Amino acid sequence: MTTEPLSLAKYLASSRSEFALSEMNQYLSRRCEEKELYELLKSHFYDLDLFCDAGYKCTKLVKHALPADEAVVRELEALFKNPQLPARVEKLINSYIERSCGKDWHTGETGLLIRENIVKQKEEYWGGKPQYPKIRIISYLLYHFPVYFCQFQYMLLELWRGGLLTNKMSILDAGAGPGTITLSTLDFIRKLQDVYSKNKIDVKLNIRIDSIERASENIDCYKELTSLYLSGLKQEDTIVTINEPVRSPIESAPVLPNVDLMVFSNVLAEMGAPPSQRAAVVERAASGSENPTVVIIEPADLDNSKALRVTQHALVKYGFTVYSPCSFIWGLECSGENCWSFQELGNIRAPDFMERIANTGEFYRYINTDMKFSFVILRKDGLVKHKYLAKGKFMRLSNLKKHIEKRVNIAVSVMSGNLGDEKTFVYKICDGTTSIPCYAVLPAYHISDNNSMLFEAGYGGIVEIYGTLVRENKALSSYNLLIMRNTMVSVAG
Ligand X SMILES: C[S@@+](CC[C@H](N)C(=O)[O-])C[C@H]1O[C@@H](n2cnc3c(N)ncnc32)[C@H](O)[C@@H]1O
Contact residues toward ligand X (CB under 6 A) are 132, 148, 175-177, 180-181, 212-215, 218, 249-251, 265-267, 270-271
Nearer to ligand X, 48 or 297 (CB): 297
Nearest residue to ligand X on Cβ basis: 177
State which residue, 19 or 229, has the beta carbon closest to ligand X.
229
Task: Between 214 and 385, name the residue whose CB sits nearer to ligand X.
Answer: 214
CB of 372 to ligand X, least distance (A): 14
Q: Nearest distance from residue 384's CB to ligand X, in Å?
A: 25
Closer to ligand X at the Cβ: 262 or 390? 262
Burial of 192 (0-12, 13-18, 19+ CB in 10 A): buried
Q: Which residues pair with 242 in a beta bridge?
A: 209
Least distance to ligand X, CB of residue 343, Å: 15
* In the complex, minimum distance from the CB of residue 359 to ligand X, in angstroms, rounded to a whole number: 24
Please identify, using beta-carbon distances, which residue of 207 and 296 lies nearer to ligand X: 296
Question: CB-wise, 21 or 138, nearer to ligand X?
Answer: 138
Which residue lies nearer to ligand X by CB, 117 or 167?
Answer: 117
Cβ 325 to ligand X shortest distance, Å:
18
Residue 484 phi, psi dihedral angles, 5° rounding? -110, 180
In whole angstroms, how close is the CB of 108 to ligand X at the nearest point? 28
Residue 76 CB, shortest distance to ligand X, in Å, is 22
The CB-of-212 to ligand X minimum distance in angstroms stands at 6
392-414 residues labelled b (16+ CB within 10 A) or e (exposed): eebbbbeebeeeeeeebebbbbb
> How far apart are alpha carbons 176 and 221 in whole angstroms?
10
For residues 253 and 213, give the distance between their C-alpha atoms in angstroms, rounded to a whole number: 9
Looking at beta carbons only, is 5 or 177 nearer to ligand X?
177
Rounded-to-integer distance, Cα 465 and Cα 447, Å: 14
Please give the Cα distance from 77 to 192 (Å, whole number): 10
443-450 contacts: CB < 8 A, separation 24 or more?
Answer: 443/482, 446/483, 446/484, 446/485, 446/487, 448/485, 448/486, 450/485, 450/486, 450/487, 450/488, 450/489
Minimum distance from CB of 217 to ligand X (Å)? 9
